[in-house]
Structure 1
Amino acid sequence: MKLFLDANVIYSASRSEKGASFAIFQLKNKFKIELISSKLALIEAERNIVEKETSLILSRFYYLIKEIKIISVESVKAKIFYKNIIEEKDAPILYGAKQSQVDFLITLDRKHFFIKKIRGEKFAFTITTPGEFIMELK
C-alpha cells in the first residue's frame, strides 16, 4: 500500500507522537506501507517547523523523513494539469500523488482537499485524513 503525505501530515507527526499523523509512521512496517512525499512538501514542513517549533521537533522531523521516499514534482506542470480543480499552491500535492501511483493521499487540509469540486473528481487514489486512514486499517 502506498501513501502520499502532504506537508501538514509530516509537520503534525513531527509535533506530536500521539496523533494519527505519527501513528502512520508507526504502522508503516506492520501494514507494509510505503510513505511517499515530494521535495516541495518536505521543504514546506521543514520551513514551518524551523519558524514555529523547537529543535526537538526539528530533530523528530529529520528522523521521520528517513522513512519517506522523496520524489520531485514539476510545479508548473502540476499547476497546469490541475488548474481548474484546486488552488495553485496545492496542485503539486495532487500531482505528486498521481505521479507516484499511490493508493491514498493523506492530508489535514480540509479547506482545499475536502471540497465539493475535489470530491466530484475521479482520482486513482483516495484523499483522506490521517485519522480516517487509521480507522480504515482497523
Structure 2
Amino acid sequence: MRVVLDTNVLYSALRSNRGAAFAVLMGLRQGRFQIALSVALCLEYEDVLLREPTPLPKHAIHDILDQLAAVSSHPRMSFLWRPQLRDPKDDHVLELAINGQCSHIVTFNVRDFGGSERFNIQAVTPAQFLTLMGGPP
C-alpha cells in the first residue's frame, strides 16, 4: 500500500510519541506501507517542522526528512490536476497521490480532501489508517 502523509500527520508524530500519527510513522519505519514524496511536499514538511515547535533539534528534523526521502517513492509529476480541492494549497498533495498511484492520503483534515474519491484515493485520519493496516505496529 502506498500513501501520502499530509504535513499535519508528520508534525503531530514528531510532537508526541503517544498518538495515532506516531504509530503511523512507526508503521512506515517497519515497512508496513510505503509513502510517495514530492519536492514540494518535502519542502512543506521542512518549512512547517522548522517553524513550529517540536521537541526535536533542527539537525534531527533534517535527519528525519532525509530518511523519509530515502524510503519514499518519487513519482514523476506529469499531470497537473489543479484545481480540484477547496483549498488550493492542498492540491499538490492530491496531485502527488494521483501521480504516485496512492490508495490513501493520511491527514487530520479529511474534509479538505473531499473529491479525492474521484481518483480512487481515500482521505483518512491516522487512526482510520491504523485500522486499515490491522492495528498499531
TM-score (norm 1): 0.75
Point out the structure with the larger strand share: 1
Contact preservation (8 Å) 1:46, 1:58: no
Cα pair distance change 1:26/1:55, threshold 3 Å:
closer
Gaps of 5+ in 1: none
Match of 2:122 among 117, 120, 126: 126
CA offsets 1:108-130 (integer angstroms, 9 cap, x no match): 224522x4xx27x4222221111
SS of 1:71 mapped into structure 2 = coil
Point out the structure with the larger helix share: 1
Is structure 2 residue 72 aligned with structure 1 residue 69?
yes
Match of 1:88, as an amino acid? P
CA offsets 1:74-123 (integer angstroms, 9 cap, x no match): 5xx53xx232443221111001000000121111224522x4xx27x422
Match of 2:43, as an amino acid? I
Contact preservation (8 Å) 1:25, 1:64: no
Distance (Å, rounded) in 1 between the aligned partners of 2:125 and 2:76: 22
Cα pair distance change 1:134/1:63, threshold 3 Å:
farther
Distance (Å, rounded) in 2 between the aligned partners of 1:64 and 1:98: 25
Task: Percent identity, please.
Answer: 24
Aligned length: 131
Q: CA deviation at 1:13?
A: 1.6
Cα pair distance change 1:47/1:85, threshold 3 Å:
closer
Q: Which residue is 2:16 aligned to?
A: 16
